[in-house]
Structure 1
Amino acid sequence: MAETTEPDFRARVRRSFDRQAFMRMIGAELTRVEQGMVEIELPFNEMMTQQHGILHAGIISSALETAGTYAGYSVLEPDAGLLTIEFKVNLLSPGRGERFLFRGEVTKPGTTIIVSDGRAYAMSQDAPPKLIASMTATKMVVRDREGFAE
């Protein structure tokens, strides 16, 4: 995988994530940043459930998309940004847990298009993590556009 030439990509990813009002609103926390891989965690909150009391698909999709985008952002040069242009999510199991982990990883880095894959897990103290969703997403690298670089 091509690596960014920026010495501190982690700080750039964290600064950008901290500006994400939606992630802040749902209580999401950036817990791990590696070259090409990002993890976001989210505590259970009844306000984010659907009518059956499980985590809403929109929350799962948003967190997975964000994790995949920041995984891609971690391999970009500092003057570039990313926009998601397509994703496919598979909801594999009900989102029941005390906490949720969303991991995004770069599958195919590129100078114009980046592909990422994501996995979402429900976590509880009394059980091993359970895979609840997967995602594949395509991102477009954006350069020389006002507002899309840090």
Structure 2
Amino acid sequence: MPGLDLDLARKVLDSQPFSRLLGARITAFGNGRAVLEVDVREELHQQNGYLHGGVIAYAADNSITFAAGTTLGPAVLTGGFSVQYIRPATGLTLVARAAVVHSGRRQAVVRCDLFIVNADGDETLCAVAQGTVLSAQQS
């Protein structure tokens, strides 16, 4: 979409108080794709020392919505999404890579692969998600 770029995506993300609380950042945005990252810290863990599933779900939801925004425009809302947790996330950084699978005029279907990155830079798939994003543009 014209006018939508990584700088604008970063401003939108920064305008979300919850995203600021988590320390989320967008590292790629455009052409039906978005990458969101969250550094893992102790307060984001659950009782067994793994990254909390809610943080993973947040990253899936937000990266899915940002990816869809590259095809539908900036006024979008999540219609729904599902997450399949594959393995516990232990590492330094959560990386959510979302890509539009199909986009129409009013909605997009987006897949997201979520990886945990360790100290050596190795990535391990910890979850996959899929969602539907709706255009909030008034007709």
> What runs of 5+ residues in structure 1 fail to find an aligned partner?
146-150
Specify the alignment match of 2:18 in structure 1: 22
Query: Which of residues 88, 111, 117 in structure 2 aligns to 1:94?
Result: 88
Aligned residues: 139
**Is the Cα–Cα contact under 8 Å of residues 10 and 74 in structure 1 kept in the other structure?**
no
SS at the partner of 2:54?
A: helix
Cα shift readout 1:47-88 (whole Å, capped 9, x = no counterpart)? 1111101011111001111001000111234xx511111111
Shift of the alpha carbon at 1:41?
1.1
Cα distance, 1:114 vs structure 2: 0.7
Contact 2:32–2:99 under 8 Å retained in 1: yes
Structure-1 separation of matches of 2:19 and 2:3? 26
Match of 1:136 in 2: 130
What TM-score results when the alignment is normalised by the length of structure 1?
A: 0.86
The residue type paired with residue 133 of structure 2 is K
State which structure, 1 or 2, has the greater radius of gyration over its C-alpha atoms.
1
Matched residue, 1:69? 65
Two-structure CA RMSD over aligned residues (Å): 1.6
What is the CA-CA distance between 1:100 and the residue it aligns to? 1.3
* TM-score normalised over the length of structure 2: 0.92
Q: Which amino acid aligns with 1:65?
A: D
CA-CA distance at 1:98 after TM superposition: 1.1
Structure 2 portions without partners, runs of 5+? none
CA displacement 1:30-53 (0-9 Å, x = unmatched): 111121111111111111111101
Structural mapping, 1:3-82, within 5 Å: 4=1, 6-77=2-73, 81-82=75-76
For 1:61, the aligned partner's letter is: A
Paired AA for residue 96 in structure 1: T
1:121 alignment partner in structure 2: 115
* Cα gap change, 1:23 to 1:136, in 2 (>3 Å): same
Tell me what 2:101 maps to: 107
